[in-house]
Structure 1
């Protein structure tokens, strides 16, 4: 099927399909960020158990790990907009269930775990469809800037969503879930209004070869394999965010307000870099720029690990967020541009699994290292390890290192 050329527009914000897509993504991600705060606080309030908090995260991650390859194939086989709508409507119904149970007082911890697992199932199908739809709504030749805007939307949700979740939970345990339900329903309605001229053309039967085609595609493409695996190990080793409560109380000697500053610093740095890249795309030497960003991320992690001053720690975290954003935007743009449209769902599913695994395992690795060595050595080790991996990957993946332009 020949590619359909989208009409040129004066700018990204003049392109209506992208506008609608970003608004829908924003409402969905905002709800997801509220969810993490509301569920975590409610479970801990009901159980006073750190293990129960860990089990909640595991309950959400396991369905993703089990269903991710099926979800990627479904995303390539059916209309991605309708899949996103269906997932968001299911999420809205689950949120309403939690709101009802919290308001009436009959909600139990096992019921919350079951709801969280269903959120994980919905996310497993929604995320690959969202990632695969972005190239279809971005104006021709502006995918990198559109990716930057999409990343910025996520960062805004990461900054404001937890605050809204905490404040609304203080009013009523049911209120954050009600807000989530309204936002997910709004996202579903918006996705129904996305108009694109490039329908999904893949209609492969769900054979084992088709299900795992995304994994084979990534393995056989050195540049994509290099960028996804680099991000996996960089996040796995550089998971300093899991230790922020220890740094805030025991090392920097601050209170909850200091922890809030530390948690927001990385997202603020990411948001500022997103705004810059949405106007000034990286034109050449993109592979080397990605490696440089990962090395800067590692150096900033070491500085944060050694810092005993709040302002320096906040600055280091902001630099980490900005460097990570450069890496993310290059990775997402490279994966999308190098992947045929009929494969984007399955390749996006592999990418989603790698990123989710690195976030979850990165927090686990940081916690284990901190328990064995202490918080400061654990963070410094992670930063040095990140730099070492970037230097090693430059040797192992010359195709990625020498990549000049995102075509």
Structure 2
């Protein structure tokens, strides 16, 4: 890391990404609202959600392997521009007729293909630019920028959707992609010189296997990946169930339901900022389980509240959000530190796939459980199980000692 200008390069990169996240959030929310207003169909919304994550989940490892084969700077630019170009198809189709529902869903799916390439690339590029000791802090800043982008994007979508057409929102998305691509092209990303052994021509399947082997050799990281999948199965439905807790269990208003969502986002933003400034708990083998347990305790206590406990629930939502960056950031940084750079694309691709597949599994389990016994009881049970996952982290020796031998 001889480049003393790494901060300028990193913040330039992520300022562009912030514009991209903002504009993409505006369009994504607008498309969901368009489907809602047009169809009033829960099935269509489910299909749209499936289209948004399934390609990323299925292609994650393959896309990550291809990322490791190619110039990562080029991949980021092409992926951003590809997503924008796909969005422009909405404008072309809407010129002649109303947007068909199937076409909107198809666009969401194809955009997800671009994301499958973009997400592991930027995670793999970061350790080439940032000193190892700063990776956790940078993960905090990254989390903050993404949270701000999603929060502001959702708010802007609410303001702009009644005023602007979908076509105009597409042009915002294209502008965000162009800004993001411009910042990537403007910075210098260190060239990844691959070892001679990796230059031997191999098949895509062999390279995927090598990536898995590289992950498997890091026992602590390998264990954390599967811990993360179990955590995501329990955690991912919580946001989806916030409205049910607010409206049905606490008998609140739509304003109160929005406040719970905002409180969670504020917690995430605050956690990201604190992580960026302080760098998190130094002993990550202890810190990660502690933050998982904090999340679990907040969720579990929420399930024990009386029907008059909405404001306590709102405070607990802040605590839940606060713990997210302190879990995600250190896990990401550890992977960037311990996995050789030439394997990072496929490792982050695999990690993204596992997380994406865990989400629908969790939603399927939670929806059936919450409907039959009550959403508050699901909060309590899932919180207890998340605390159990934290305890499991402490039991696994390779996780406890994960900071002992950082490469």
Task: With the length of structure 2 as denominator, give the TM-score of the two structures.
Answer: 0.92
Of 55, 60, 68, 1:63 maps to 55
Q: Does 1:299 align with 2:297?
A: yes
Write the distance in 1 (CA, Å) between the matches of 2:242 and 2:95: 32
Does the aligned pair in 2 maintain the 1:81–1:194 contact within 8 Å? no
Of 198, 206, 209, 2:206 maps to 209
TM-fit CA distance, 1:292: 0.6
Alignment of 1:258-273 (within 5 A): 258-273=256-271
CA 1:283–1:235: 2 relative to 1, 3 Å = closer
Of 3, 9, 25, 1:7 maps to 3
Q: Does 1:219 align with 2:212?
A: no
Write the distance in 2 (CA, Å) between the matches of 1:28 and 1:399: 37
Write the distance in 2 (CA, Å) between the matches of 1:52 and 1:200: 46
TM-fit CA distance, 1:154: 1.0
TM-fit CA distance, 1:366: 2.1
Of 224, 239, 243, 1:245 maps to 243
Task: With the length of structure 1 as denominator, give the TM-score of the two structures.
Answer: 0.92
Q: Does 1:277 align with 2:269?
A: no
Does the aligned pair in 1 maintain the 2:215–2:339 contact within 8 Å? no
Match of 1:382 in 2: 382
Match of 1:332 in 2: 332
Does the aligned pair in 1 maintain the 2:293–2:386 contact within 8 Å? yes
Of 207, 222, 231, 2:228 maps to 231
Size of the aligned set, in residue pairs, is 398
Structure 1 segments unaligned to the other structure (5+ residues): none
Write the distance in 2 (CA, Å) between the matches of 1:277 and 1:296: 16
Q: CA RMSD in A?
A: 2.0
Of 108, 119, 122, 1:127 maps to 119
SS at 1:171 equivalent: coil
Does the aligned pair in 2 maintain the 1:34–1:165 contact within 8 Å? yes
TM-fit CA distance, 1:261: 1.2
TM-fit CA distance, 1:372: 2.4
Match of 1:197 in 2: 190
Write the distance in 2 (CA, Å) between the matches of 1:388 and 1:138: 34
Q: Does 1:21 align with 2:13?
A: yes
Structure 2 segments unaligned to the other structure (5+ residues): none
Does the aligned pair in 1 maintain the 2:268–2:323 contact within 8 Å? yes
Write the distance in 2 (CA, Å) between the matches of 1:342 and 1:404: 22
TM-fit CA distance, 1:106: 2.5
Moved more, 363-372 or 73-82: 363-372
Does the aligned pair in 2 maintain the 1:78–1:200 contact within 8 Å? no
Residue deviations 1:192-249 (CA, integer Å, cap 9, x gap): 1120223353655333121233233323322112222222212211331111121221
SS at 2:133 equivalent: coil
Write the distance in 2 (CA, Å) between the matches of 1:205 and 1:41: 46
